[in-house]
Amino acid sequence: MMMLLNFSLPIVLFLMGVIVFVSNRKHLLSTLLSLEFMVLSLFMFIYMLLSLYNYEMFFSMMFLTFSVCEGALGLSILVSMIRTHGNDYFQSFSVLQC
């Protein structure tokens, strides 16, 4: 029973991140933060699953490396959007402007 509760925590955290990602579309920064929250909850789930089966933690380190690269890419997009448009609102950003 306790193991089931341990595995349900990352799933609940992931679903909360999805709800925030879907509901809040005003700022790019809040969207990026919710994506990082979902990635960290997935990392927690992978770590718990690998430790349950006594596997190596190499895959979790690779996942964490890719999630850091994704976060750096999101922040660079945020900085370039603020430099070109002056804010991070999705209303001021148009795909047709290039």
Q: Is residue 94 part of a domain?
A: no
The burial of 17, by beta-carbon neighbours within 10 Å (0-12 exposed, 13-18 middle, 19 or more buried), is given as: buried
What is the number of structural domains in the chain?
1
| pLDDT 10s digits, 55-87 | 888 998 999 999 999 999 999 988 988 888 888
Amino acid at site 69: C
Q: Is residue 96 part of a domain?
A: no
pTM of the model: 0.84
CATH of the domain at 41: 1.10.287.3510
CB 37 within 8 A of CB 17: yes
For the chain, give the percent of residues with pLDDT over 70. Answer: 87
